[in-house]
Amino acid sequence: MAYETGVGVGIDYGKAISWYWVAAIGGSSDAVCNLGDMYENGRGIEKDYEVAKKLYGIASEHGSGLATCSLGDMYRLGEGVEKSPETAERYYRQSAEQGCPEAVEELRKMGKDVSMYGKEVRERTEAQRGRSKST
């Protein structure tokens, strides 16, 4: 992740992608999700929503709440898929159940009841919302 964000090293998307692939092959669902993000946003590689969706799906199947949330984002925005608020909501709910605060926030923005998600996830969501307001 250091090469993607430039923390401690210069930003080098090509190296980031290479290291994500190494970690993904080693079984890291976080690395698979990060690869999906690189493909979805065209960082260091040509933008490819189909590949991004496949990578997010793999990471989601292995428990990555962030990858599941990213699938929801793709359906909410219509990125490489037909726009579908219903499908987005389904992915956001699954992601929230996986403990992803970003998904809880997206559901809240959609006007959905988020009270059923654990206190810990709601507190992380509130903390993130507070941080984003202060920056």
- Looking at per-residue confidence, does 17 or 134 come out higher? 17
Q: What is the pTM of this model?
A: 0.82
Give me the pLDDT at residue 11, please: 80
Q: Is residue 55 part of a domain?
A: yes
- Supply the mean pLDDT for the chain: 88
pLDDT average, residue stretch 44-52: 96
With a cut of 70, say whether residue 134 has pLDDT above it.
Answer: no
Q: Is residue 59 part of a domain?
A: yes
Confidence of residue 115 (pLDDT cuts 50, 70, 90): confident
CATH number assigned to the domain comprising residue 81: 1.25.40.10
Q: What is the DSSP string of 7-76?
A: SSS---HHHHHHHHHHHHHTT-HHHHHHHHHHHHHTSSS---HHHHHHHHHHHHHTT-HHHHHHHHHHHH
- Looking at per-residue confidence, does 6 or 64 come out higher? 64
Q: Is residue 111 part of a domain?
A: no
For 5-45, how does the pLDDT look when each residue is reduced to its tens digit (9 = 90+)?
565 677 888 889 999 999 999 999 999 999 999 999 999 99
Q: Report the C-alpha gap between 103 and 56 in whole angstroms.
A: 14
Whole domain around residue 42: which residue ranges? 2-98
